[in-house]
Structure 1
Amino acid sequence: MTERWSWLDLRLVPPAATVWVLTLLAPQLPVGLLLTLAVVATLGAAGLLLAGGPGRAGTLRGVAVRGVVIGCLAAVTVTGAAAAVRAQARAASPLLTLADRGSVVEVVMELTDDPRPVAGAGPARVLVNGTVSQAAGRTVADDPVLLFGTAEEWAGLLPGQAVRTHVLVRPAEPTDDVVAVLSARSPPDPVGGPGLVQDAAGSLRAGLADSAARTLPDRPAGLLPGLVVGDTSAMDPALVEEFRVAGLAHLTAVSGANVAIVVALVLWPLRARAVDRRWQALAAGLAIAGFVVLARPGASVLRAAAMGAVAVLALASGRARAAVPALAATVLVLLLLAPGLATDVGFALSVSATAAIVLLAPGWSRALRRHRAPRPLADAVAVSAAAGVVTAPLIAGLSGLVSLVSLPANLLAAPAVPPATALGVLAALVSPAAPWLADGLTWLAGWPVRWLVVVAERAAAVPDGATGWPAGTRGAVLLAVVLTGVVWALRRWPRLRPLALAALVGVVLVGWPLRQLSRGWPLPDTIVVACDVGQGDALVLPTGPGEAVLVDAGPDPALIDGCLRRLGVQRLPLVVLSHLDADHVGGLAGALAGRDVGEVATGTLAPDDERVSQLDRAVADAGARHVVPLPGDRRTVGSADLEVLAPDPAEAVAGAEPNDLSLVVRATQRGVRVLLTGDLGAEAEARLVAAGLDLGADVFKVPHHGSADADPGFLAASGAAVALISVGADNSYGHPTRRLLDWLADAGMRTHRTDRDGDVAVVGRAGEWGVAVRGPDAVLRATAAAEPLAPGTPGAPRPGAGAPRTRRRPVAAWPRGNSGTSGSDLPAPGRGGRGGAAARAGGLRRARGGPRAPPRQ
């Protein structure tokens, strides 16, 4: 029998797609319309059943078409009715009234998932999913909620555990699958245990994490629990970013591969002993159920478990498995039971990848084998390529990136995943009874996990390994059209395949290296760039392909836009404005326009500052959020760690000098520390030194464009090797002053300034970094510091300066707020919308009309 797609195998796909689309739309539709759709669909299905339906009666195709149409109508009936019931129940929930009032009440809540770390200021915070059974003394119908609490109080709780606590109740978004968002106002008081099963699962998860921490180096130790049970809480944030760029992030989202490995581990000894098929099915079913409890029932886990259950039923009955109907049935059932999965990105990626492997991979593998490729290699290439092609549009739409190293990285990683997962599962199972045995198994698992770390590091380090692409729905649709056209053309005209292969080889072997040899700007491994924007500040911290953190925006929109374009920056997850003087924010419109922007951070602003409302409007127009970090707050954005050092909010009083309220941030990239100081004056600098703050850095952004209003002790306290001065040529203020330059030289710093050097880039990593400049004439030049600075030479880092930390501390993201407020329980958003803030940001500059007071010299 030849292997061909059977049209009948797709008969459950349209009903599943109908359920998915209607589930997505349901929260935005009135209850009356949902009920009307359900009634009309029911009548339509009944009419088709009675009338015989479309198609020619008696033909197989006619029967199949009628079945598909009836299935779609039935899907509309069930989905519409279920959505209407949920909407009615939500509207009747007492939590909605409490949320509208912003009430603080006592609730009894049962956790439905492990607490997860989320963005938040100050102490580490967690997000907790659960259901509320009592609120303010009233019984509630187990309404689903989302709770934010401190990690110290909530992180140790387990799913199934019931607690009593006081919470602030706030409304959820209409499209959310929860009724309300809660903020804990008191520690949880346990009123019910998690149950033996969840308690045991929590013990096994903790045992695996503890064993990994005892046995393995930091990076593999954090990765192993993520690979085995999806616990990524201990993963190095930089490694998370490397996995994303390399196209390996799916490995830490527990899915079908994990379930398949666990089932294979259970069935292997049973099949070796020729155990009856029904006993094999029972063992496989128990293994799937146990693994779901261990890994927690997330979107991809549920999808994989449901697929596995269908396979187990087929095994027990002895009938052949049909993967496409199984996948479609899985999607249909899961969306009806858990509508929130309709908006879950992981679920969409998981379903897409599985469909690609089922529909495309077999044919691609056969084509490769016809060209004499060994079957294992053909299967591996086909599976990776099919999954990569189908999921690429979704990933591009979400991240604005297309990974060019994903396929080879996945091929190299594939052999390491099964042994690491199997050994990790065994280590978790034995950890409570025999920690020594768990450590031995973890040590063995550590070797394939180390390989995965190496693959991710090397793939992420490939220059241009991920290229920028339009983000959002437009980008996803565009890439889907391109890839569909390419695949269709190669299938339709086989003679194009050798030409396409030759073109691909040419790009890889010739075009890519030539681009690297001829590239000028940006340089690989750029740590920070001081943009030449005239008399103002604008610094860029590249954090990933097409992505950067911007610190200040200079005085002119065109100049900062040009600098960002030269660096290939399309996305700004974070913009930091040290203060609101025109030479730091006047160019904000040029930075925001046409780019995806996440958050805009400022220090605590003076209450009488009339520019705050203008900034808020500009930020809102860009689809971003205004956040106000406090001293001690930390944030990781891609490859950069940022720590806020000043100012103290108490200093933001009416009439305070704006320069002295500059946001002071230390950024660390690949072990090199950059101290960003805004326009601090001598008094504020002296206060920071007197407070005993750690001001250590390798690169020092000189405050206030080189003004003499500086504290020599502050300059020396950084211990930096390189000083960057952002200053305009022939400016009327005399910046940088001779006295300031002498102080920098006395502190042992090499000085680079934008008025003479143009854009200035610090490149490299800890122990082997230097400086290069792109002169005002747009010619790239190496400077005296472009060679690695050897310890012990003048202006070189001290031994150990900028060395990477052995273990990263948990990073708290900055709070949302505005107008000097701070603190929020909402998680930090992803990337916001595009630009459109030109008029608003331009208004900032016009409202200022220049510096508030003559600059201090």
Structure 2
Amino acid sequence: MNRRWREEEAQAPIDLRLIPATLAVWAGALVGIATADRTSVAGLIWGSACLFLCLSVAVLRRVRWWPGLLAIGAAFVAALMISTIYWQSAATNPLTVAAGHGSWATLRLTVATAAEKLPSPFPVAAAPVAAAPVDAAPATRAAAPGGTGDPAQPEAEGTWLLSAQAQEAVVGDHRFAPAATISVMATGAIWPVLVPGEQIQISGLLAVDRYSVLPGVLLHARSGPIRLSRAPWWQRAAASVRRHLVQNASSLSPDAKGLLPGLVVGNTDGISPQLKADAKITGLTHLLAVSGSHFALLCGLGVLLLRRAGPRPAAAGGAVVLVGLVVLVGPGASVLRAAVMGGIALVAMSVGRNRSALPALAAAVIGLLLYDPTLARSVGFALSVQATAGLILLAPVWSKGLQRRGCPPGWADLLAVPAAAHVATMPVIAALSGAISLASIPANLLAALVVGPALVIGMGCALTGTWWAGAARALAGADQPLLEWIALVAHRLARWQSASVPWPASVPGVLALTGLLTGGLLALRHRRVRALTVAVITGAGVVLVPAQVVSIGWPPPGWVLVACEIGQGDGMVLSTGEAGTAIVVDTGPDPGLMDDCLTRLHIGTVPLVVLTHLHADHVGGLSGVLPGRSVGAIGVGPDRDALPAWRKVNELAAGQGVPVVGLPKGTRWASGGLSIEVLGPEGAFRGTDSDENNDSVVLMAHLAGIRILMTGDAQYEAQQQLLDDGVDLRADVLEQPHHGSAKVLPAFVAAVRPKISAIGVGRDNGYGQPSPKALAQLSAIGATVLRTDLQGDAAVCVIDGKLGTATRGAGLPAGSGKGGSGDGA
């Protein structure tokens, strides 16, 4: 029996001869870019001469493997020299030098890519009173200053970023031809309608692009673009197709409206932050924009339709589809990379000759790295190469194995492809995110049921949109259920609490994961191990999927406030009314619990984190909010007494590039449908029972027609100050001061008179919180009390103008509330 299994699974030997050269080129490019600022071309020449001298000695001694050594050494040296020359050429470009001085420039540019809307940390402009910057706040990349500078140019919401080739530059009295690719950041309605290939003239301030691998240039445009020449006809036609596709998708449901342009032409502007966050958790981000799988699928369809005409017409048809897709989507670097990898994956999956496909992949990687050494530091490129390698080496073998065991060919490919891609990319993804997605394979399997039809129908919608609007709208409507299925898979599986598990994002962690995967793949060659693995996966799926995915209905519809179950402390989340976006008020003591709460709410964008004061039970979970999310700013009150906590907040903020701002009384912020106003304190308290607690930021939030009062740990003195100032404290919802402490004034509760009170508190906390006194006051006015110790995550909802509540159920064990605030009730 064992012999039969070994014979069935015997595969042709894999051609690995180009792999060492590929790794050498990659390493050479990395070393060249990393050391280019300290290396001269002359030094490289001398080093290369020494290397070839050593290889020559090996040749003279008739070392058997000298041809391989010579090839590997030549590949490394070639990549090293090319990357160094690239870097130094960029660094010495006069435009780069001018950018280092922040010079004003007028440039003649050729647009290289369509403008991409940058995610703004504050979707709605801040209200008239701005937040005050805090000293020593960490620096962040500047947004485009001012407007377009052209009074005739209408303003557009958001900031746009595009790449362009600088043909001519005027800096001061100097005119020169820089021949450099730069980034342009600007605001204005004209930028998103520029077409790649157009020549324009603009003026603005030059700056160093710190996000570029090579020394780069960023132009902050201060004028509207002057069009000098039109784009080529094929670029104009492609732009028209993209524009009409967005228009025809505008009548679809919110998720489908964003997914259709994203899936077909890579336009992700309409995809909600919530869907992006869920897709990231479930490993479906490759479906939100054009990837190698899109090229492979559509080119494969072209080859299939022309197969009867013979291999050459079929290959030519596939090539035509490939070129057409590149033009349609746009000639960006990621698109060209996806086209190359998709073409190789198509060859591998169609001919089933992984022996030939792997050398083709290696040759493509070598060529791409020598053409553009910056790809060596591109995470997207690394993931594309790994995914393609998985499709070449693993997917055909697994698919054939499934077919031998009775699985239909189509279903075998459906199961093998996402599993192979996930396993191949797992080490890099774990290194980036610090987590392993357990939901990725089932999510991709479920999404794969509709991706092909959705992409084909969407492409039909795009191609008919410019000349037959009725047909395009009908196709968009037909595609909507398929697109909604993809979104549903992402949303549902992201709610599974075990959708991702933590993994060390370090070199030892990556090496350990790689070793485990390699050992697992080798172990799966044995029949009994395979049978045991199938049994475990099947059992886990039968038990966990219904329990963790189907039954969970969180977050509830219409939620405006959620008190997170984070133990003894406060972690409050205020919805902005926009999917995936919320303001966080305090972060609790535990980063993991705070991150879990935000993940359950599908929050990917946090315009503002408010830290009411610096006690550990309010700021300890900050590191669970910042990584992996778009955070606009961290707002703080006057409390600076807890110096270690203050330093930690600034360290975390600096590490994530998030500014720290002060929130003095009168500060207003707005984001989406949410607006907040800081009511107090007027300044730092001194000589009270607890100055730190009384220094808590108190704010009033307005959303969906209701008022929400957030109080932190404000005690008697702070409450009395608000009453003395005559502040309108009336609110529908009250965050109970100091976790339901007894230190609350009856006059304060009477002034607020909330319908609902939310109390962030841990079980068996040892402080007697919430106190019977506070609960009695709330009962006397008929307020509904939400407690995180008894009810878990607790939500306040507004549906059809009516106020309601929903709870998720307590999940933390007894005793989880001990520790925390450090002061009693």
Specify if TM > 0.5.
yes
TM-superposed CA distance for 1:528, in Å, is: 3.5
**Residue 134 of structure 1 is aligned with which of 160, 169, 180?**
169
TM-superposed CA distance for 1:73, in Å, is: 2.2
2:359 maps to 1:322: no
TM-superposed CA distance for 1:494, in Å, is: 3.8
Report the equivalent of 1:638: none
2:634 maps to 1:602: yes
**Residue 724 of structure 1 is aligned with which of 759, 765, 769?**
759
In the superposition, the TM-score normalised over structure 2's length comes to 0.74
TM-superposed CA distance for 1:391, in Å, is: 1.4
Question: Is the 2:749–2:777 Cα contact (8 Å) retained in structure 1?
Answer: no
2:247 maps to 1:210: yes
2:794 maps to 1:762: yes
Report the equivalent of 1:787: none
**Residues in 1 aligned to 2:35 and 2:700: alpha-carbon distance in whole angstroms:** 47
2:614 maps to 1:578: no
**Residues in 1 aligned to 2:518 and 2:362: alpha-carbon distance in whole angstroms:** 21
Report the equivalent of 1:797: none
Report the equivalent of 1:505: 538
**Residue 15 of structure 2 is aligned with which of 3, 6, 9?**
9
Q: What does 1:178-189 correspond to in 2, within 5 Å?
A: 178-189=215-226
TM-superposed CA distance for 1:240, in Å, is: 2.0
**Residues in 2 aligned to 1:329 and 1:188: alpha-carbon distance in whole angstroms:** 41
Report the equivalent of 2:107: 107
Question: Is the 1:229–1:295 Cα contact (8 Å) retained in structure 2?
Answer: yes
**Residues in 2 aligned to 1:103 and 1:709: alpha-carbon distance in whole angstroms:** 61
**Residues in 1 aligned to 2:407 and 2:769: alpha-carbon distance in whole angstroms:** 71
Question: Is the 1:619–1:626 Cα contact (8 Å) retained in structure 2?
Answer: no
TM-superposed CA distance for 1:254, in Å, is: 1.6
**Residues in 2 aligned to 1:155 and 1:213: alpha-carbon distance in whole angstroms:** 17
Residue identity opposite 1:193 in structure 2: R
Aligned CA distance change for structure 1 residues 647 and 164 (closer, same or farther; 3 Å): farther
Report the equivalent of 2:375: 341
1:451-480 alpha-carbon deviations (Å, 9 max, x no partner): 323333333334423333334555433322
**Residues in 2 aligned to 1:312 and 1:54: alpha-carbon distance in whole angstroms:** 44
Question: Is the 1:223–1:449 Cα contact (8 Å) retained in structure 2?
Answer: yes
**Residue 143 of structure 1 is aligned with which of 173, 180, 189?**
180
Q: What does 1:723-762 correspond to in 2, within 5 Å?
A: 723-724=758-759, 746=781, 749-752=783-786, 757=789, 760-762=792-794
Report the equivalent of 1:246: 282
TM-superposed CA distance for 1:29, in Å, is: 0.3
2:659 maps to 1:627: yes
Question: Is the 1:398–1:472 Cα contact (8 Å) retained in structure 2?
Answer: no
TM-superposed CA distance for 1:165, in Å, is: 3.0
CA RMSD of aligned residues (A): 5.3
Aligned CA distance change for structure 1 residues 550 and 212 (closer, same or farther; 3 Å): closer
**Residues in 1 aligned to 2:660 and 2:57: alpha-carbon distance in whole angstroms:** 65
Question: Is the 1:423–1:442 Cα contact (8 Å) retained in structure 2?
Answer: yes
SS of 2:319's equivalent?
helix
Aligned CA distance change for structure 1 residues 287 and 688 (closer, same or farther; 3 Å): farther
Question: Is the 1:109–1:130 Cα contact (8 Å) retained in structure 2?
Answer: yes
**Residues in 1 aligned to 2:437 and 2:726: alpha-carbon distance in whole angstroms:** 43
Q: What does 1:444-463 correspond to in 2, within 5 Å?
A: 444-463=478-497
1:685-734 alpha-carbon deviations (Å, 9 max, x no partner): 9999989xxx997x642456674498779846xx8645336699898999
**Residues in 2 aligned to 1:310 and 1:567: alpha-carbon distance in whole angstroms:** 41
Aligned CA distance change for structure 1 residues 355 and 696 (closer, same or farther; 3 Å): farther
Q: Equivalent pairs: percent with the same residue?
A: 30
Question: Is the 1:397–1:476 Cα contact (8 Å) retained in structure 2?
Answer: yes
Residue identity opposite 2:534 in structure 1: L
Gaps of 5+ in 2: 1-6, 126-156, 662-666
**Residue 397 of structure 1 is aligned with which of 427, 431, 453?**
431
Q: What does 1:197-346 correspond to in 2, within 5 Å?
A: 197-214=234-251, 216-272=252-308, 274=309, 277-307=311-341, 322-346=356-380
Question: Is the 2:263–2:289 Cα contact (8 Å) retained in structure 1?
Answer: yes
1:522-573 alpha-carbon deviations (Å, 9 max, x no partner): 9975983456876x74447999xxx99863256xxxx557966997999999
TM-superposed CA distance for 1:223, in Å, is: 0.7
Aligned CA distance change for structure 1 residues 582 and 377 (closer, same or farther; 3 Å): closer
Report the equivalent of 2:70: 70
1:366-408 alpha-carbon deviations (Å, 9 max, x no partner): 2223322222222222222211211122222222332223222
Question: Is the 1:126–1:155 Cα contact (8 Å) retained in structure 2?
Answer: yes
**Residues in 2 aligned to 1:776 and 1:369: alpha-carbon distance in whole angstroms:** 46
Aligned CA distance change for structure 1 residues 576 and 236 (closer, same or farther; 3 Å): closer
1:209-236 alpha-carbon deviations (Å, 9 max, x no partner): 111123x322112111111122111112
SS of 2:759's equivalent?
strand
**Residue 408 of structure 1 is aligned with which of 442, 445, 455?**
442
SS of 1:148's equivalent?
strand
Question: Is the 2:199–2:227 Cα contact (8 Å) retained in structure 1?
Answer: yes
TM-superposed CA distance for 1:202, in Å, is: 1.3
SS of 1:155's equivalent?
helix
**Residue 25 of structure 1 is aligned with which of 28, 31, 39?**
31
In the superposition, the TM-score normalised over structure 1's length comes to 0.72
Residue identity opposite 1:620 in structure 2: E
Aligned CA distance change for structure 1 residues 90 and 588 (closer, same or farther; 3 Å): same
SS of 1:108's equivalent?
strand
Report the equivalent of 2:144: none
Report the equivalent of 2:132: none
Q: What does 1:49-60 correspond to in 2, within 5 Å?
A: none
TM-superposed CA distance for 1:648, in Å, is: 9.8
Aligned CA distance change for structure 1 residues 224 and 512 (closer, same or farther; 3 Å): closer
Question: Is the 2:438–2:499 Cα contact (8 Å) retained in structure 1?
Answer: yes
2:495 maps to 1:495: no
Aligned CA distance change for structure 1 residues 143 and 224 (closer, same or farther; 3 Å): same
**Residues in 2 aligned to 1:687 and 1:212: alpha-carbon distance in whole angstroms:** 52
TM-superposed CA distance for 1:591, in Å, is: 5.4
Residue identity opposite 1:578 in structure 2: V
TM-superposed CA distance for 1:50, in Å, is: 9.8
Aligned CA distance change for structure 1 residues 151 and 633 (closer, same or farther; 3 Å): farther
Question: Is the 1:531–1:758 Cα contact (8 Å) retained in structure 2?
Answer: no
Question: Is the 2:496–2:548 Cα contact (8 Å) retained in structure 1?
Answer: no
Residue identity opposite 1:10 in structure 2: L
Question: Is the 2:465–2:472 Cα contact (8 Å) retained in structure 1?
Answer: yes
Residue identity opposite 1:102 in structure 2: G
Question: Is the 2:731–2:752 Cα contact (8 Å) retained in structure 1?
Answer: no
Question: Is the 1:579–1:659 Cα contact (8 Å) retained in structure 2?
Answer: no
User: How many residues align structurally?
Assistant: 742
Residue identity opposite 2:82 in structure 1: A
The more displaced of 612-621 and 17-26 is 612-621
Question: Is the 2:118–2:160 Cα contact (8 Å) retained in structure 1?
Answer: yes
Aligned CA distance change for structure 1 residues 195 and 506 (closer, same or farther; 3 Å): same
SS of 1:15's equivalent?
helix
TM-superposed CA distance for 1:110, in Å, is: 3.2
**Residues in 2 aligned to 1:615 and 1:145: alpha-carbon distance in whole angstroms:** 38
Report the equivalent of 1:196: 233
Report the equivalent of 1:839: none
SS of 1:417's equivalent?
helix
**Residues in 2 aligned to 1:202 and 1:358: alpha-carbon distance in whole angstroms:** 34
The more displaced of 131-140 and 588-597 is 588-597
Residue identity opposite 2:520 in structure 1: V
SS of 1:487's equivalent?
helix
TM-superposed CA distance for 1:762, in Å, is: 0.9
**Residues in 2 aligned to 1:169 and 1:71: alpha-carbon distance in whole angstroms:** 42
**Residues in 2 aligned to 1:197 and 1:43: alpha-carbon distance in whole angstroms:** 50
Gaps of 5+ in 1: 57-61, 636-641, 782-841
Aligned CA distance change for structure 1 residues 611 and 515 (closer, same or farther; 3 Å): closer
TM-superposed CA distance for 1:100, in Å, is: 3.4
